[in-house]
Structure 1
Amino acid sequence: MIEKNTLEKRARKSVSFHPLLAFFLTMLSLILVFLINQIVPFGERNVLTYDLGSQYAPFLHELKHTVTGGGSILYSRSIGMGSNTIGIFAYYLSSPLNILTLVFPDSMIQELVTVLTILKLSFAGAFMTWLLERKFKSEDKMSMLFGMMYPLCTYAIAFMFNIMWLDGFALLPLLILVIEEYIRERRKWPVLTLLLLLLFISGYYMAYMVGIFSFIYIVSVSAYQGRFKNGEDGLKSIGFFILSALTAALMSAFLLLPAGIQTLNNPDLSARDTGSLMQPEFKMISMLDQLMEKGAGNIIRNLPLVFSGMTVLFLCILFFLNPKIKRSLKVAVAAAFAFGVLSFQLPVLKLAWHLFDEPNCFDYRYSYLFTFVMILVAYYSYLNMHLVRPRHFFISLGIIFGMAVLSQNFGKMAKEDSTFFATVIFAILICFLLYGKTLEKWPESIANLKKLGTGILAMVIVVEIVVFNPRCLMPDVYADLQDASKFSSMITDLDTLSEKIEDSDSYRTELHQPWYYLIGSNNLPFYTNQHGIGSFATMTNRRTAHFLKQLGYNVLYNYASCFHDNVILPADSLLGVRYIITESEDLSDLELISEKNTLRLYENRYAFPEAFLIREDAGSFDGFALEKDDEVKDYFTFQEEWFTSLSGVDASDIYDSFTANWQPVNGQLSVTPPEKALVPADTFGNDLNNESRDFTAEALKFYLRNNAKSPFMLRAIVTADRDGALYLEVPYLYCQCSTDIYVNEKAVYTGISDSCYT
């Protein structure tokens, strides 16, 4: 009886509630982060920034209506001209937590995203805490705080708007925990298989990075533990791991296979400079910057985001100074950090980590793996810091101070808002508080504070990772998006207007002159439950977008996105665009049929239905003749010839086209092309693009600006002898410059500088 009771007590003792507490503590911390930074629903700052506003949130909106309306997740007419959507579902929407979409009304899409973000990161905190306790066999309550450092690291705070990344981010520590158990007992491989299945289903993009990392982890740990020396033990572990991964992949093939086929059939065809695959990505001094307190900076062109708190950095340095830690372990950890830095620096490794698809923004998407390893090392160092000599604490502090000085003088701190003093202050506080925890007795004058030492340390860490660091990052990420309620009202207005459209199954609805930065041609169909021609997704049909560019629509340089920003009446009519939503008060040849606050719904009476009969030989028309033409490039005649090829009817009088007599203002025509006529981006090739970049092309004209501080203008006088729209095409190869177009001294268009659309 005594033995039984003893076993029961041990069993109860082995159950730790720290992971559960870490879940709720992380949740409370994130709520505080959102509250301090006034992000919806705790303030007016809109959460829908970057791709979250243009892709993820609209896709969630569409997912809800697909499920509740009995639609298909295999095909959608709301994406581009119509698209297979299984790839989009697997890439963006397959997270099991997205089922919460069904319980949120359309107008609360921002609140939904906030809930999903907090939930996913809270799971990350719980799983990280669980891993730390089980891996290091520790019951220290500080494990919860170290676990929270993971979901509150710079990467998570800066990139939380990429909610599709957060599933893999959260599952990483759980997967490593299961791998640790699997290494000890191979019979647990079914659990490993099920977790890999969950990982693959939750989003294959991050699953790829987590999967590669986990394979490197199991090989490295097995090698360090000498399992390859014991006959076939280590090889069997690796073999069963690979078998588990293959089994999980086969079990998720219903999702991964069609998504993979769609990806392979629709690759990014942008040409890359393969000669630079061995050139360093950035200066090594910049890596020091990333380990310091600082703002996010340009989040689109970011460096690796690896900071997770001054405590982690301090303890990682202390790890290498600890004389009682095995040299072999230090060498192994140093090798891991070196490989991580090399993965950031070496373009070929960076490309491999990104699934061999170089991102055009939000770089180093795998940098959280480096943070993950740093936290593991830091916690191990924390558990063993009682073995460190006092001077090692102050050597670590001196190293951090030196890093901060270098960053302030030569790194990002010298160029941006300096956090030098904050870095030094946090480092000093953490140094003395950690050192204090190793002392058996404190000086008599402060001896009573010893009991409070751990609490004060926890408070300092919380202030840094919950208050200070997010405040450094949030302004760069969310900028001036102070209009959460306005966006909700806009969604309600769009819903009201869409109810006025009675024949949506046969025609498309688009916008004219975007009136709100979070609603564009790519996501308007989702918010109105209509069809459109715009699209913006990794799975966009690039060949369709390539052709739409020939018609004058706004298309991204690599054809991954297409926007209907302006009415092109002839092309719109043939593509079935019958309805236009805009804030403009008058659109030529369109009839106003409804209004709601600032928005107006117009009808194009000339629109064809989405499907109609064409000539049998219509496919022989060269849809890309414009790109091969270096002399005239007449976009209007091109459309007329396309119409004729489809119908057999002479369409040569649709446009009354002419070449205006443009007169330069603050500039003069140059017969000699300048050496740097094109921005570097204009020289990027594309396997789809037939455009010539020959400076001798007859269609190209070069002007020299007289006064560099004044705008260069081209002016022409056009006499309109009849009613109707006036069209002007302003083509670019890759990046457009800042362009303003005026008609009768009234601004009608503004082109954003350095936009990758044309």
Structure 2
Amino acid sequence: METREDRGKLNRSTFVLEKDRRFTWNRKSLSIVAFLFPFLVLASVYAVCQTFPFGQRHILTVDLFHQYAPFLQLMRDKILSGGSFFYSLTSGLGVSFYALFAYYLASPLNLILLLLPASFLTEGIFLITLIKVGLMGFTFFQFLQVSYKRKGVLAVAFSTFYALSGYTIAYSWNIMWLDTLILLPVVVLALVRLMRDGKWLLFPISVTLLIVTNYYSAFFACIFVVLYFPILLIRCTEGEPFRRKLLVTGKVIALVALSVGLSAILLYPTFLSLALTSASGDAFPKTFELIGKPLTYLGQMFPFLQPTVRSGAPNLYCGLPVVFLLPVYFLSTRIRLREKILNGVLLLFLFLSFEINFLNFLWHGMHYPNQLPYRYSFVVIFLLLTITYDGLRSTREFRPTELGLLGVCLMFVAPVVIALDSEIKTAPWTSWGTVIFILLYTIIFSSFRAQSYKRRIQVNLLLTVMLLEVTLSTFSGIYHIGENEFYGSREGYSSGRVVASIREAVRQTKLMDEDKSFYRIEVKPHKTSNDPALYGLNGLSLFASSAPKAPVTFFKNAGYKNNGINSYQYRGATLFCDSLFRIKYVIARDTLPYEDNERTITLGNSHVTVYKNDNVFPLGFVAKPSLADYKSYYGNPFETQSDLADAMMGETLHLFSELKAERPDDRDVHLSTSSNSKYRFTRPDGVSDWVIELEWKAERSGPHYLNLDISSFDVEKASVEVNGNPITLDKKVKWISEIGSLVEGDDVKLFIQPSESVDSGSFNVHLASLDMISLTHLKDFTHERALSVIDMKEDQLYGSISCPEDGVLFFSFPYDPGWVVKVDGKQVDIETVDDAFLAIPVSAGEHKVFMYFRPVGYGIGLRITCVAAGVFFLLIMVLLIRKRRARKRAEEKFFFFDDDHDTEMKEDEEADDQVEEQSSSATAEP
């Protein structure tokens, strides 16, 4: 019969079985969740925002729209077509693709685009972004697990805060920076393993990947790791002798040097190419400036803010628990005082870097960033989350009243800071949303010491609230970016009928072109600042941080759309410059608002029309020696272009002729001029709705162009009328506007309507006509002295030329020191035209010309990388040999003890047999 005791034993046994069957998270499953949660949260938020395939929008905004996506398409085209990775003829008349690749395209995840057709470019970028954000959560989770050796589900929440921080949401469109946020936790994790466990292999691999995937943002991460190193060294070698600490430091320095060597093939040529960009000329700040915004930094840690994109305070949001747990960490008695002091000093230094202009300048690589301030703020987020995760366990040290008082203070401080600081960009729900979540965290943290609640319930409740907060904050941030920066329609970008028509027009134009020689093609009106890269054209437009500064300056002086830093666009072109730069075809998306009788229509459908320019010059030709002395200047683009034509011919052509403006007699606007181009105006008394008007009359037939600069005052609208047909002008236009082919006697009228707040001001205007006879004469001159191209690839050219006299062989390629030119087998020095274009001095006679492109420093970088790779291989071989020897010694030791054990067992068995025999004998005796 079963007793009461037996039943008790059975019940206890049953209870144990039920407990064993309860689901528990292990490290592998939590790692998957750490990846999936930020991935799915961001995907869900974009789905709500109608991103394809959940709608018809894409996630491309700001520079992802204008730069990164077109360059990703360019890389995809190069890989699939086998193009050169050194140089590209697609963008900017020709540009170092190696420099583009190093800054924008080195992430291995970009290879995902090869799996998708070109029409799904935006969706491929969407998928890459989601994967990168998921990997950020995954790697930060691994870092927390390895560094603190804890098995807890709350690490998933902290990793999600890292992956969906305010920095990530604000700059997720800077898709190449996200690789650094993925790899920073890996580098620090590898550093911990190296110092604490002696495992070194992951460290050089992770540092090399960090540098190679994006050297720019890696610079911020590397500075942070250097600053964080002493803290890690003290924590990971606690109690170790000084000699051990010194040995670890030496290993780290050696492995960092090895990593730099492994990345030299990309890093060294890129470093040299930066000398050509606008970023290389920034001067160190001359005066000390203190911004003085400590409350702003606190406010930037609150959720539901509008992300800082173009200007404003640093993006520091990484979860409200950080604000709550930061004082807990520094007041905790569990955490060593020395560690708290070092972390506090580092955190203070990082905040002072926001405050002090000297430090901010140094953090940005001795450069003043063009918008996008405080680009290194992600390292502050990393440190904040690391500190507060360590302080999480210390909440049980404090009484509920103490934590409750902290929460009440935060509930009062948060709305006050938000209300008082205008620098903080809030939403209508920011204040009350922040207070509600502070209240929830106060209740949960205060209950940690209560014995009436199970620990599992408290943790799960905290996890739920943390994940809810980051989800809502992510939605708020993406919503604000969509409102402020705009997420456009995927139709017309890389997919749709217009895009398909452009690609088909490019294909058919290539088949129809008669001479089959190299030419360029452009699109108007533009879609992005890099349309040639987006659509696979050989064009002029370029917007890239790695763009050389000299061509930008030339195109600015020549009247093209530019930003004066790293961009020039196919807006402001004249037929002369189209001919000089061999832009043979123009694809018009829409019907042109003006007549173009100088180009002929070759193709067209209901979406696009293709215009052909029959006046293009050769790719290379011998100009007069005077071209080497040509210098462009800013002010009058028509004179700048005319001077260039004169320098090429060595004589005065009068290529452009300016027209004199006339004022209508019935206008009350006070308008005066001291020259034929600069005008000053004053608002008429008692008039609110007023317009400035100028008139011209065409003096000869041909293409006419208007250059208007009204950037010094606010304008409601500006337009020009040609024989009554209106052409709308950009309100901030400073470049040339084409107004079409005019006939002698045609009327041109300019209308400028200033804003209501403008009472007076000034503007510059030039109207000029192009002399087609002079252009034809110039075309004939260049073709008579043309380079005959025998063979041409993207990064090399071979041809022959017959020079009637000494001159300058001009190429319509931007100058780059990576070009190597040989004339008749001998390398020659390269000259430049206006520091912007490639030119070679040649003598009279027949010559063979061969030129090729290799990034400056590529050979040296390659050799350094090969040496470093050899050293790395030897280190791995030594590691494997040591492991093999250690395993062999372990096996020998095992067999040694096993043999001893067998011998002892055998001796015991023999002794037992003897005893049994003796016993048997004794028993048998009578």
1:570 and 2:582 equivalent?
A: no
- The 3 A distance-change label for structure 1 pair 384 and 505 is farther
Separation in 2 of the partners of 1:45 and 1:161? 15
SS in 2 for 1:555: coil
Separation in 1 of the partners of 2:162 and 2:239? 32
Higher strand proportion (structure 1 or 2): 2
For 1:211, which of 204, 222, 225 is the aligned residue?
222
Separation in 2 of the partners of 1:709 and 1:273? 49
For 2:393, which of 365, 383, 387 is the aligned residue?
383
Which moved further from structure 2: 211-220 or 236-245?
236-245
Matches within 5 A, 1:350-389: 350-389=360-399
Give the counterpart letter for 2:464 in structure 1.
Answer: M
| Ranges in structure 1 where 5+ consecutive residues have no aligned partner | 1-11, 628-632, 672-695
For 1:464, which of 454, 469, 485 is the aligned residue?
469
SS in 2 for 1:716: strand
SS in 2 for 1:579: strand
- Identify the residue that residue 169 of structure 2 maps to in structure 1: 157
Deviations, residues 14-53 of structure 1 (Å, cap 9, x unaligned): 9644223311233222222222232333333321111111
1:715 deviates by: 1.8
2:711–2:734 Cα contact (<8 Å) kept? no
2:170–2:308 Cα contact (<8 Å) kept? no
1:706 deviates by: 5.1
For 2:537, which of 522, 526, 530 is the aligned residue?
530
2:143–2:186 Cα contact (<8 Å) kept? yes
- The 3 A distance-change label for structure 1 pair 340 and 61 is same
Separation in 1 of the partners of 2:645 and 2:732? 34
1:669 deviates by: 5.2
For 1:349, which of 347, 359, 363 is the aligned residue?
359
- Identify the residue that residue 762 of structure 2 maps to in structure 1: none
- Identify the residue that residue 274 of structure 1 maps to in structure 2: 285
For 1:603, which of 612, 617, 627 is the aligned residue?
612
Matches within 5 A, 1:305-320: 305-320=315-330
SS in 2 for 1:612: strand
- The 3 A distance-change label for structure 1 pair 596 and 359 is farther
- The 3 A distance-change label for structure 1 pair 505 and 209 is farther
1:556 and 2:563 equivalent?
A: yes
1:656 deviates by: 3.1
Deviations, residues 245-300 of structure 1 (Å, cap 9, x unaligned): 21111111111111111112334266558234x21245333212211123325521
Separation in 2 of the partners of 1:707 and 1:233? 84
Which moved further from structure 2: 224-233 or 324-333?
224-233
1:454 and 2:454 equivalent?
A: no
Give the counterpart letter for 2:644 in structure 1.
Answer: W
- Identify the residue that residue 84 of structure 1 maps to in structure 2: 96
1:65 deviates by: 0.9
SS in 1 for 2:305: coil
- Identify the residue that residue 641 of structure 2 maps to in structure 1: 639
Q: CA RMSD in A?
A: 3.2
Separation in 2 of the partners of 1:179 and 1:303? 31
Separation in 2 of the partners of 1:241 and 1:367? 25
Separation in 1 of the partners of 2:372 and 2:173? 11
- Identify the residue that residue 434 of structure 2 maps to in structure 1: 423
Matches within 5 A, 1:108-507: 108-185=120-197, 187-223=198-234, 230-268=241-279, 274-276=285-287, 278-281=288-291, 283-296=293-306, 299-412=309-422, 416-418=426-428, 419-442=430-453, 452-477=457-482, 479-487=485-493, 488-489=495-496, 490-502=498-510, 503=513, 506-507=518-519
- The 3 A distance-change label for structure 1 pair 286 and 320 is same
1:659 deviates by: 3.1
1:455 deviates by: 3.1
Separation in 2 of the partners of 1:359 and 1:734? 24
Separation in 2 of the partners of 1:117 and 1:228? 43
- The 3 A distance-change label for structure 1 pair 699 and 129 is same
Separation in 1 of the partners of 2:113 and 2:40? 22
Matched residues, number: 701
- Identify the residue that residue 873 of structure 2 maps to in structure 1: none
2:559–2:736 Cα contact (<8 Å) kept? no
Give the counterpart letter for 2:438 in structure 1.
Answer: A
Give the counterpart letter for 1:464 in structure 2.
Answer: E
- Identify the residue that residue 729 of structure 2 maps to in structure 1: 750
- Identify the residue that residue 726 of structure 1 maps to in structure 2: 704
Q: Percent identity?
A: 23
Which moved further from structure 2: 466-475 or 240-249?
466-475
Kindly name which structure, 1 or 2, has the bigger radius of gyration based on alpha carbons.
2
1:363 deviates by: 1.2
1:602 deviates by: 1.5
1:735–1:754 Cα contact (<8 Å) kept? no
1:402 deviates by: 3.2
Deviations, residues 52-109 of structure 1 (Å, cap 9, x unaligned): 1111111110111111111101001112121122111111111111111211111111
- The 3 A distance-change label for structure 1 pair 392 and 700 is farther
- The 3 A distance-change label for structure 1 pair 271 and 191 is closer
TM-score (norm 1): 0.85
2:304–2:476 Cα contact (<8 Å) kept? no
1:322 deviates by: 3.4
SS in 2 for 1:656: strand
Deviations, residues 445-501 of structure 1 (Å, cap 9, x unaligned): xx9xx8644333322222221233432443335644341234321432321221122
2:671–2:680 Cα contact (<8 Å) kept? yes
| Ranges in structure 2 where 5+ consecutive residues have no aligned partner | 1-23, 738-926
Separation in 1 of the partners of 2:236 and 2:245? 9
- Identify the residue that residue 547 of structure 2 maps to in structure 1: 540
2:196–2:237 Cα contact (<8 Å) kept? no
Separation in 1 of the partners of 2:293 and 2:204? 41
Deviations, residues 324-350 of structure 1 (Å, cap 9, x unaligned): 444433333322221121011111111
1:13 deviates by: 11
Which moved further from structure 2: 198-207 or 187-196?
187-196
Which moved further from structure 2: 637-646 or 363-372?
637-646
Give the counterpart letter for 1:658 in structure 2.
Answer: L
Separation in 2 of the partners of 1:616 and 1:249? 45
SS in 2 for 1:294: coil
Separation in 2 of the partners of 1:282 and 1:556? 31
